[in-house]
Structure formats: structure tokens, C-alpha cells
């Protein structure tokens, strides 16, 4: 069995974290890099990721996250926030980044920028925002996999009130919306869920070969 599969069997959605254990700065940088390198449609990455360590902020967030203890007990709290009403300026910024990173003239790839605008900018805002929110799930997947590789526990969460999280973190003023939360740290020895056998569909039920 590959090490990747072993780590996937090891990981689970941790319900109780050990608040005394903190992620090292070195491991935190690896998690951040895993998120940064995540796949994204067009490579655009239409989101920001907030890493919340401040205990006062996290105490404010807990009630609007269904009172879940992970919010305050985990070492770090990641909030994935999608860009709202994505503008052409963000696409232009990405095109400039490509040109600078690869050392090519902007004019050489302006057509790619125009193509993105034709597909994204024409969307109604509700569909556009739904699309940018979906991109955060790709980044979350990289975080979960990288954390498991490091034997760090991570719990993805959709159980929170986005509007109130936005208000607490000042996301509205930044043109952002909280789409996902992930708590990251180390499981508490009293978390009984770590002993449960992982339950998933069988390969025969899940996959269709054509």
C-alpha cells in the first residue's frame, strides 16, 4: 500500500483537538505552500485564505460556527474566502503574473485573458460567485492531503454562518465571502472518533467502468 493511501486511512474529521499542541512554523509553511500550489480553473485562484490564530477572534467565530469546539481548540483555523463578483481587473492581474513569472510579453498571452473574460465576466454574479466558491474546495483538498502527509489533523467545515463570519473578519470590505473553514492541529487522545473504522463506498459501488 502506498504511503499516500496509508495517510488517507489515518486521517479523519477530528472532533476534539489537543489545544496544547501547536503546528510548527516549518510545517505551517508546507501547508501554505500546498494550498498555493493547488490546481484551479485557468490557474486563476479566485480566493484568499485567512489563517486565524488570534484567540479573541476565534472565540467570536465559535458561536457562528454552530458552537463547534474545533474552532477554538485547533492549532490554526483556515478560512477559505472566494472572491465576490470577480472583475476583469483580477484576470488582468493574473495575466500580468503569468507574463512576469515566465518572462514573456503580456501581448503574447492577452488572448488567453480575453478568453477567460468571455467565459467568466459574462456570467451573472450569482453563478460567478458559485464558481469562485467551488475553486476553494480544490485548495482545501490540497490542505487535507498535505496535512495527512505530515501527520497533522485537519477538519473541513461547512457548518457555519457565512454572513456572520464575513462580518467578524471584515471580508465584505475586501470583496470576499467565507466559503469553507478548516481547523488544523493535533487530535486529542480523548477523541473517540480516531478509533472508528473509516466508512466509504466500495470500489464496485463507487466506480463505473465504460
DSSP designation for 50: E
**pLDDT (0 to 100) of residue 139:** 98
3-state DSSP: the chain helix, strand, coil percent, rounded to 5?
Answer: 55, 15, 30
79-88 mean pLDDT = 97
Q: Is the pLDDT of residue 131 over 70?
A: yes
| Of residues 153, 141, 151, the one with CA closest to residue 14 | 153
Residue with cell 473504522: 197
- What is d(CA 196, CA 210) in angstroms, rounded to the nearest whole number? 34
Which of the four pLDDT bands, split at 50, 70 and 90, describes residue 210?
very high
- What is d(CA 166, CA 175) in angstroms, rounded to the nearest whole number? 10
- The CATH number covering residue 143 comes to 3.40.109.10
**CA dihedral (32, 33, 34, 38) positive or negative:** positive
- What is d(CA 37, CA 7) in angstroms, rounded to the nearest whole number? 20
Which of the four pLDDT bands, split at 50, 70 and 90, describes residue 1?
low
Query: Is 22 in the same domain as 104?
Result: no
Query: Is 48 in the same domain as 142?
Result: yes
- What is d(CA 183, CA 185) in angstroms, rounded to the nearest whole number? 7
Q: What domain range includes position 99?
A: 87-120
**pLDDT (0 to 100) of residue 2:** 84
Query: Is 138 in the same domain as 106?
Result: no
Query: Is 68 in the same domain as 157?
Result: yes
Q: Is the pLDDT of residue 140 over 70?
A: yes
- Decide: pTM greater than 0.75: yes
Report helix, strand or coil for 51: strand
Last residue of a domain, one of 101, 120, 139: 120
| Of residues 139, 184, 132, 138, the one with CA closest to residue 33 | 139
Last residue of a domain, one of 75, 102, 120: 120
Q: Is the pLDDT of residue 153 over 60?
A: yes
pLDDT tens string 104-129: 999 999 999 999 999 999 999 999 99
Lookup: cell for 95: 495575466
26-53 mean pLDDT = 98
Residues in the chain, how many?
210
Query: How many domains, the chain?
Result: 2
- Rounded to 10 degrees, what is the CA torsion of 100, 102, 103, 109? -80
Query: Is 113 in the same domain as 17?
Result: no
Yes or no: say if 187 and 14 are a contact pair by the CB < 8 Å rule: yes
Specify which residues 118 forms β-bridges with: none
Query: Is 164 in the same domain as 75?
Result: yes
Amino acid at each position: 500500500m502506498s504511503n499516500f493511501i496509508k495517510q488517507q486511512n489515518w486521517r479523519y474529521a477530528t472532533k476534539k483537538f489537543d489545544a496544547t499542541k501547536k503546528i510548527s512554523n516549518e510545517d505551517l509553511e508546507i501547508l501554505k505552500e500546498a494550498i498555493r500550489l493547488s490546481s484551479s480553473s485557468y490557474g486563476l485562484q479566485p480566493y484568499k485564505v485567512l489563517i486565524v490564530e488570534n484567540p479573541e477572534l476565534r472565540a467570536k467565530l465559535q458561536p457562528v460556527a454552530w458552537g463547534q469546539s474545533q474552532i477554538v481548540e485547533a492549532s490554526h483555523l483556515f478560512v477559505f474566502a472566494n472572491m465576490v463578483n470577480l472583475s476583469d481587473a483580477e484576470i488582468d492581474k493574473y495575466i500580468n503574473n503569468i507574463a512576469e513569472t515566465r518572462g514573456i510579453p503580456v501581448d503574447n498571452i492577452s488572448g488567453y485573458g480575453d478568453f477567460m473574460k468571455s467565459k467568466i465576466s459574462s456570467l451573472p454574479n450569482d453563478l460567478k460567485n458559485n464558481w469562485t466558491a467551488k475553486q476553494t474546495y480544490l485548495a482545501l483538498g490540497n490542505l487535507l492531503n498535505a496535512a495527512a502527509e505530515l501527520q497533522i489533523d485537519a477538519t473541513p467545515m461547512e457548518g457555519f454562518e457565512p454572513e456572520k463570519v464575513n462580518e467578524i473578519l471584515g471580508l465584505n470590505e475586501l470583496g470576499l465571502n467565507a466559503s469553507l473553514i478548516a481547523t488544523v492541529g493535533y487530535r486529542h487522545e480523548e477523541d473517540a472518533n480516531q478509533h472508528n473504522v473509516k466508512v466509504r463506498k466500495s470500489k464496485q459501488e463507487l466506480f463505473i467502468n465504460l
